[in-house]
């Protein structure tokens, strides 16, 4: 399962980089654009993962 996650993540990063301009060629402007969009593309995934993690752990801690 972990390797599937690595593969999906790597392919998603490649797609985001190609869509942000690295497919046309490597330049400083293309690299800056790709760096921003590769990071920004995964922010919604991070937020969703945080919500799921919080929901999953809400009832697990026992109080004093």
Q: Render pLDDT for 14-45 as a digit per residue (tens, 0 to 9).
A: 888 888 888 888 888 888 888 898 888 889 98
pTM over 0.95: no
Q: Is residue 51 part of a domain?
A: yes
- Domain range enclosing 48: 2-57
- Listing DSSP states for 14-61 in one string gives HHHHHHTTGGG---HHHHHHHHHHHHHHTHHHHHHHHHHHHHHHTTTS
Q: Is residue 11 part of a domain?
A: yes
Q: Is residue 50 part of a domain?
A: yes
Q: Is residue 24 part of a domain?
A: yes
**Spatial contact of 21 and 33, defined as CB atoms under 8 Å apart:** yes
Q: Is residue 62 part of a domain?
A: no
| Predicted pLDDT of residue 3 | 93
| Predicted pLDDT of residue 60 | 63
Q: How many domains does the chain have?
A: 1
């Amino acid at each position: 399962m972990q390797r599937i996650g690595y593969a999906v993540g790597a392919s998603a990063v490649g797609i985001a980089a190609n869509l942000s301009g690295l497919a046309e060629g490597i330049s400083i402007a293309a690299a800056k654009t790709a760096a921003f969009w590769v990071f920004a593309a995964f922010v919604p995934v991070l937020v969703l993962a945080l919500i799921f993690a919080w929901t999953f752990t809400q009832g697990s801690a026992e109080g004093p």
